[in-house]
């Protein structure tokens, strides 16, 4: 069975790009006819997946959009994950992280029960909170490094001991080389280059392009450097390209546009 990085490499060869499609099913933004129906989170996301999978290197379900509806939401997530093509990696975006024994249970849920290929995790609690996610061969734990939200500068770029906090995260993770990836927002162009230099072998997950205003060309150019794969995540700009019944077709058209824009910027 192929691990996450092998799947990503195969998808890049097939699609010619590095597009990750975020699945954030919002009842207020999807067409009303879907939102009012049975299992709307599942049906909306499934139709988007079916329409866009030919362009996707990975899909990234944001767990909050499912967890907000309790057991019914989780059931829809489980049903959706079972139908995503197995050759397309799934990144479970929950930003988990807690004391060691709790992190072990988070990791079990994400990697065993939901069978995700990767997950996003929070390094704030330190090494014992990270290690359980690194104990799954073939899986990738993307550690938050420089996030795409406006408040990321409140802590992540603070200077301490002669380096920024995000740089300290990278330095600490060197002990786990080969077992982690990094989340770096597309808004941080100069710091993205610094991250690539400091961690050339770490896979990158780069959110923030599209609705959050991150610039595509610079992010792709930085992503293409280094010796490890990278993904440019786009969520709302693809999911909600249309609020009408043609939403899946328009999502596919938008995903195709992103792939076409990326290809010239990526080295063969």
Point out the residues that are catalytic: 95
Give the position of tokens 């927002």: 185
| Angle in degrees, CA 54, 55, 57, rounded to 5 | 105
Max CA separation in the chain (angstroms): 55
Q: Is 226 helix (H, G, I), strand (E, B) or coil?
A: coil
**Which helix (H) or strand (E) segment is 93 a member of?**
strand 91-96
Separation of first and last alpha carbons in the chain: 26
Contact between 210 and 237 under an 8 Å Cβ cutoff? The reply is yes
Please name which of 8, 114, 93 lies closest in space to residue 56, comparing C-alpha atoms: 8
Q: Is 232 helix (H, G, I), strand (E, B) or coil?
A: strand
d(CA 239, CA 250): 8
CA atoms within 13 A on the CB side of 163: 11
Residue 158: CB atoms within 10 Å: 12
Burial 178-204 (b: 16+ CB within 10 A, else e): ebbbbbbbbbbeebbebbbebbeebbb
Q: Where are the alpha helices (DSSP H) in the chain?
A: 4-15, 32-35, 40-52, 64-67, 70-83, 100-107, 127-130, 165-173, 189-198, 216-223, 236-239, 247-262
């Amino acid at each position: 069975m192929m691990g996450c990085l092998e799947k990503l490499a195969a998808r890049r060869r097939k699609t010619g790009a590095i597009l990750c499609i975020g699945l954030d099913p919002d009842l207020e933004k999807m067409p009303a006819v879907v939102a009012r129906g049975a299992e709307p989170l599942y049906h909306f996301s499934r139709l988007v997946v079916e329409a866009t999978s030919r362009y996707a290197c990975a899909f990234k379900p944001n767990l909050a959009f499912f967890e907000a509806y309790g057991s019914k939401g989780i059931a829809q997530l489980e049903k959706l994950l079972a139908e995503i093509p197995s050759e397309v990696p799934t990144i479970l975006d929950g930003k988990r992280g807690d004391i060691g024994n709790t992190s072990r249970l988070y990791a079990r849920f994400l990697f065993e029960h939901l069978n995700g290929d990767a997950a996003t995790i929070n390094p704030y609690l330190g090494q014992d909170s990270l290690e359980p996610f690194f104990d799954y061969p073939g899986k990738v734990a993307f550690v938050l490094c420089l996030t795409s939200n406006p408040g990321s500068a409140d802590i992540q770029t603070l200077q301490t001991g002669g380096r920024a906090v995000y740089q300290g995260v990278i330095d600490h993770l060197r002990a786990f080389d080969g077992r982690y990836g990094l989340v770096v927002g597309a808004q941080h162009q100069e710091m993205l280059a610094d991250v690539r230099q400091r961690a050339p072998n770490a896979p990158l997950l780069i959110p923030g392009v599209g609705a959050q205003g991150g610039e595509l060309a610079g992010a792709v150019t930085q992503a293409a450097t280094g010796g490890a794969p990278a993904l440019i995540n786009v969520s709302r700009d693809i999911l909600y390209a249309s609020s009408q019944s043609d939403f899946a077709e328009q999502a596919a058209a938008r995903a195709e546009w992103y792939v076409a824009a990326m290809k010239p910027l990526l080295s063969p």
